[in-house]
Amino acid sequence: MRASTLVSSSLVAGLALLSACGSGSTGGTDQTTQLDVDIPANMFEPVAATAPDLPNNAATPERVALGKMLFFEPRLSASWLISCNTCHNLGLAGVDLQETSVGHGWQRGPRNAPTVLNAVYNVAQFWDGRAANLEEQAKGPVQAGVEMNNTQDRVVATLKSIPEYVDRFHAAFPEDTDPVSFDNMARAIEVYEATLLTPDSRFDLYLKGDVSALSASEKQGLQLFISKGCTACHNGINIGGRAYFPFGVVNRPDAEILPRDDMGRFKVTHVTTDEYVFRVAALRNVALTPPYFHSGKVWDLGEAVRVMGTAQLGSNLTDADVEAITAFLHTLNGRQPDVSYPILPPSGPDTPRPMTGPTGTR
């Protein structure tokens, strides 16, 4: 490994964001409780029980219900075999447990699927932040050749051919004259995904003042997580996900973990200092979402912590430190969403048939 001298424009933005959070209450929502780990003010925030309001996307019951159906709808893919839930399985903490995701034609995509749970809290979507929000994100995999391999026209034709969806789009977007659109598909999915939150993790109970929610070793791990500097990147409500940093702030990991042909955010900004820069991983439910990193090459959470110590902090963490930090990370598992499986409407006579071959073929 070699020392990296990168100074990322995104990194500077990230640090500016942090410095804006200089003072305020301690940790969580309860400002009066004295916690036995010293948490800097405003460093963390518990996950909410209900979805945040989204700009220009009203969470009406009709829209959320439609979004849930579309999230589970395999007919959004060319093959009718892949839905959002395929790679963001709500029974598996919103991931697929694959190194990198497998899509149309059993093709393997380039990066590990981040969880959809709590994703609404992230500053932007995808590992490189190329989608500003979940609405924009939802449009990507539907059209990606290695994922759902569909086209906007075919998706709209499919949805318009299914009578119940036409009715539901009208109910969900009552002010639109032509509501069955690719944009509205993505908006409905966004508003549903914003409901996929995992409150009441033991860490959040602790933040709210229940000092018995964490064990001694977990508290020690939390203390180390702060004192070693992990919180420089992993902070806020999602314990990450709100800024960009190079993978290898101090030492660039080897090419197995950080493949050199994936330059990360550079592909989005084309700024040299964004080479190998990624959105900070959000650590909510991290113990449930192996394998780790954008490459998905590390399966063991302790090993991932060790890699982070070397690469980002220039610190060879001791076995005891790794163990304690890993114990703390397990306390970030929250209450998983209670989802009733949606019944999807029957196709119509004009619904385009599934195509399992390469694009443009059956």
Q: Give the interface with its own copies as residue ranges (CB under 8 A).
A: 72, 74-75, 79-81, 86, 89-93, 96-98, 102, 105-106, 108, 287-288, 290, 299-300, 336, 338-344, 346-347, 349, 353-354, 356
Q: In the numeric block, which tokens belong to residue 93?
A: 């903490």
User: What's the distance, CA 232 to chain centroid?
Assistant: 19
Our answer to whether residue 147 is catalytic in this structure is: yes
Q: How far is the CB of 66 from its own copies (least distance, A)?
A: 14
When the beta carbons of 263 and 344 are compared against its own copies, the nearer one is 344
When the beta carbons of 136 and 303 are compared against its own copies, the nearer one is 303
**Radius of gyration of the chain measured on its C-alpha atoms:** 21
Terminal CA-to-CA distance of the chain, rounded, Å? Answer: 47
DSSP structure string for 209-259: T-GGGS-HHHHHHHHHHHHTTGGGTS-BTTTS-SSEEETTSSBPPPTTTS-
Q: How far is the CB of 81 from its own copies (least distance, A)?
A: 6
Nearest to 249 by CA among 17, 6, 2: 6
Please, are residues 44 and 207 in contact by the beta-carbon 8 Å criterion? Answer: yes
Q: How far is the CB of 83 from its own copies (least distance, A)?
A: 9
The H-or-E segment that residue 326 falls in is helix 319-330
Please give the Cα distance from 30 to 47 (Å, whole number).
Answer: 14
Q: How far is the CB of 112 from its own copies (least distance, A)?
A: 13
When the beta carbons of 17 and 344 are compared against its own copies, the nearer one is 344
| Neighbour tally for 328: CB within 10 Å | 27
SS3 (DSSP) at 71: helix
Q: How far is the CB of 337 from its own copies (least distance, A)?
A: 8
Supply φ then ψ for residue 47, to 5 degrees.
-70, 140
Q: How far is the CB of 274 from its own copies (least distance, A)?
A: 31
| Neighbour tally for 38: CB within 10 Å | 12
Angle between helices 61-71 and 182-193 (to 10 degrees): 100
Nearest to 105 by CA among 296, 359, 360: 359
- Active-site residue, selected from the candidate residues 73, 99, 135, 147: 147
Which residues are catalytic, by number?
Answer: 147
